[in-house]
Amino acid sequence: MARLIAARRTAVVPRGGAFARLSLEDLAAPVLAACLADAGIAGGQVDEVILSNALGAGGNPARRAALAAGLPDRVAGLTIDRQCAGGLDALLLARALVASGAAEVVLAGGVESYSRRPLRLATDPDGGPPVAYDQAPFTPWPDRDPDMAEAAEALAQTLGIERDRQETWAAASHAKALRADLSAEIVPLHDVTRDSFTRELSPRLLARAPVVCGSITAATAAVAADAAAVCLVVSDRIAQGRGLAILAGATIGGTPEEPGLAPVAAIRRIWDGRPLAQAEIMEAYAVQALAVIEAAGLDPLTVNPGGGGLARGHPIGASGAILAVRLFHGLHGGKRGGQSGGQSGGLGLAAIAAAGGIGTALLVEAP
C-alpha cells in the first residue's frame, strides 16, 4: 500500500500579487524540498516527481522543479494536465507507481502561476492573423463546452441554490480560514506565510460583490491564484508505519455540461459511507461545493474545517493537491496540521471537479 508521509504547500496568492514574478519552479522547488525535509528523506531516494500544471507553456515544469530543488538528474519529472483535477490525479499516479513496485518514493502535486500564464494565439491555416484566446476548449463541441461561471449558474438554477445560500457558505469558508492555524502546512516564500485572500466577508461586502453570472458573484467564485502544493508518497517499507494510508482513488468523466457534479461519481466509487473525520471539497464556486456535498451525502460539519478554495483562491493545477495537503495536516493533528479544525485520525476524503465534466476523489486513513 502507498502511504502519504509529508505534505506541504505555499500560501495561495491571487494573481498579480506577491508571487507574480515567480516562475513555476520558483514556486514548486521549495515545497519539494520541504516535503523531503519533513520526512527525513534524502533527495537521492526520490524516484519521480509528478506535477500538475494547467496554464503553463509546456517545457515539463515537473522536470524544471526537480532540478531546481537539487534532485538527481536521473529524476525525469512528469507534468500532467487534467485542469482542476490534476493535483489529485498526480497523487493517484504516484500511488499507482508505488503500488506496482515501479517506484518507492514519489513527490506528487501541482503548481500554477496565473500571473505568468502565457498569452495564447490560434494560428490561421489560410494565412490570416492569429486570433487570441484565453483558454483551450474542453470538449470538441462548442455547444457542450460551457463557460464555467455559466455552468455554475445553471447548476444553481437546476438545484434551487439561491444567492443568499451561496453567500452564507462563502462567508463561513472565510471565517473558518481566519480561525485556522495553517502555518504548519505552508512553506514561507517571499515572506508570505498565509493565504493572502482570506478576509471577513461582511453582509455589506457580500451585497456589493460584482455579479459574475446570475446568482454567482465575485464573493462566491474562487479567485484566480498562484501556488504550489506537493505530497510525498512512499511504499510501506519506506513509510515504516508513518503517515496516511492511501486507501482508494478514482477519476471519472461525466456530462461535460455539468462539471460541478462530476466528483459525485468518483466519491461514490471509493467511499462506502463510513464516517469521515474530514472532507476537503474544492470550492471553485460555492454552488458547486454545496451541490457535491448534498449529492454525495457528506456531513457539512466535516467539510473544509480550515476553510476552502473560496477563502484561498484557485491555482488550477495545484488546487487538488492543496486538498490533500489539508487532509494530511488535519488528520494528523498536533503541530503538523493541528489547529485547523480538523479531527485527528480517521478517514479523510478529497474531491474536485474539472472542466469538461471530470471528477477526481481520494480516500485516505490515519491511525
Q: For residue 224, tell me if it sits in a domain.
A: yes
Which of these, 7, 4, 69, lies nearest to 235 by C-alpha position? 4
| pLDDT the model gives residue 344 | 64
pLDDT of residue 190: 93
Is residue 64 in some structural domain?
yes
Residue 160, in any domain of the structure? no
Give the CATH number of the domain where residue 56 resides.
3.40.47.10
> Is residue 173 one of the residues assigned to a domain?
no
Asked whether residue 170 is domain-assigned, the answer is: no
Give CA torsion, residues 292, 296, 300, 306, to 10 deg. -60
Structural domain of 10: 3-117+183-198+207-366
Task: Tell me the residue type at 263.
Answer: P
Tell me the C-alpha to C-alpha distance, in Å, between residue 126 and each of 64, 136, 194. 36, 21, 50
Q: What are the angstrom distances between the C-alpha of 231 and each of 46, 236, 244?
A: 12, 15, 11
The answer to whether residues 35 and 232 touch, using CB atoms and an 8 Å cutoff, is yes
Please give the backbone phi and psi of residue 92, each rounded to the nearest 5 degrees, phi first: -65, -40
In a domain, 171, yes or no: no
Q: What is the CA radius of gyration of the chain?
A: 19
- Number of structural domains (the chain) is 1
Angle between helices 316-332 and 86-100 (to 10 degrees): 60
> In this structure, is residue 175 part of a structural domain?
no
Q: Which residue has the cell 478576509?
A: 199
- Strand pairing report for 131-133 and 120-122: antiparallel
Task: Please provide the distance, in angstroms rounded to a whole number, between the alpha carbons at the two ends of the chain.
Answer: 14
β-pairing, 120-122 vs 105-113, is unpaired
What's the average pLDDT block by block, 10 residues per block, for the chain (367 residues)?
97 97 98 98 98 94 98 98 97 98 98 94 91 88 91 96 98 97 96 96 95 97 98 97 96 94 98 97 98 97 97 98 98 50 76 96 95
Q: Given this model, what pLDDT does residue 333 score?
A: 63
Tell whether 244 is covered by a domain: yes
Closest CA to 262 of 351, 142, 161: 351
For residue 362, the cross-strand partners are: 249, 350
Q: Which residues are catalytic?
A: 84, 314
Return all residues near 293 (Cβ < 8 A) that are at least 6 apart.
Answer: 281, 300, 303
d(CA 321, CA 50): 11
C-alpha cell at 298: 457528506
How many Cα atoms are found within 13 Å in the side-chain-facing hemisphere of 61?
A: 29
